[in-house]
Amino acid sequence: MRTLVTGADGFLGANLCQELVWRGHDVVGSALNRKGKTGLDALGVDIRVEYGDVLDLAYLRRLVNAHEIDWVFHLAAVSIVRVAENDPYRAIQTNVMGTLNVLDAARGAKAVVVASSDKAYGDYGGVAYSETMPLKPQGAYELSKALEDTLARGWARFTDARVMVTRCGNLYGPGDVQFSRLIPNSCRRIVNGVPPEVHPGAWAYSREWLYVQDAAAAYITLAKKGQTGEAYNIGSDETATAGGVAHKLAELGAVGKPVDSNYEITEIPSQRLCSSKMRRLGWSPQTTLDIGLSNTLLWYRQYLGGPCGF
């Protein structure tokens, strides 16, 4: 299968490319530019990468047509909440118009899977999200994802490709080089012999944590079996607070109790997913949170050059 992954140099993108290569796919990645260490570098994934902007429709059309792409996984986005809040115009332009361009360029593909987010649901007070719930975005990132989500599902009427949307829980695992996030930063601090840190307001924030390789497998399942125009929650059924995850990592790393970081964040306090629709396609998560965190810390010890033993 000839497959295109936009945002291939990111955390999920690199893991998805790795999984596709393992499964024998001919994979082409798209990335905005070549800057610093990427997820592909971190995981050692060797694929062809084309550089260009998803806001450039002509670039995307050339990419899809030149490589005769069958499947498209659209992950390119402004994906950091803080960045989106600081520049909402950029977030909405990239996440919405970039998605429109990908969908238009991929009219002749067999399947297109678009990455939305569980944050597009907004705050339901900790009630498990189902795909039938209205999207109630609050911040700039959430709004951009809700618009992208709605656009992709509606676009299914105008294309021969099957178009599916994913709403994933919080991803973690090997290959995440965005050290502003809780788990990568915690692992880096542990490798350096200091305890994890948690944003002062986020200790009790509850999330459903999904190992990135399970997420990659879910994306591939959707490309094979997903119903066009539909959204799918992808979660692990395992929730934990940010403080709880930091404590688990601190225990694994034997570095003492987590501490407060220097700045605050404000996000949805509690998020859970009902993923039964995804499970009916035959997918289920294979990695528990305890095993996933252990694997992740081991990977960062090796990647960052620290000792491999716990």
Q: Could you read off the pLDDT of 207-260 as tens digits, one per residue?
A: 999 999 999 999 999 999 999 999 999 999 999 999 999 999 999 999 999 999
Residues 214 and 133 grouped into a single domain: yes
Residues 223 and 293 both lie in one domain: no
Domain presence at residue 277: no
> Which residue out of 51, 59, 121, 141 is catalytically annotated?
141
Domain that holds residue 266: 173-207+238-271+286-304
Residues forming a β-bridge with 165: 114, 231
Write the CATH number for 198: 3.90.25.10
Which pLDDT value is given to residue 264? 72
What integer pLDDT is reported at residue 276 of this predicted model? 98
Q: Residue 166, by phi and psi: left (phi above 0), alpha (psi -120 to 50) or beta?
A: beta
> Does pLDDT of 307 surpass 50?
no
Mean pLDDT calculated for residue range 124-151: 96
Q: Is the pTM of this model over 0.85?
A: yes
Q: What percentage of the chain carries pLDDT values higher than 90?
A: 91
For residues 135 and 123, give the distance between their C-alpha atoms in angstroms, rounded to a whole number: 9
The number of folded domains in the chain is 2
Assign residue 78 the CATH number of its domain.
3.40.50.720
Distance separating alpha carbons of residues 120 and 166, to the nearest angstrom: 11
Residue 292 lies in a domain: yes
N- to C-terminal Cα separation, the chain: 40
Confirm if 54 and 103 have CB atoms less than 8 A apart: no
Residue 18 and residue 153 in one domain: yes
Question: Cα(217)–Cα(16) distance, rounded to whole angstroms?
Answer: 8
What is the per-residue pLDDT for 302? Answer: 96
Task: Determine how many CB atoms are found less than 10 A away from the CB of residue 282.
Answer: 9
89 is catalytic: no
Residue of higher predicted confidence among 79 and 20: 20
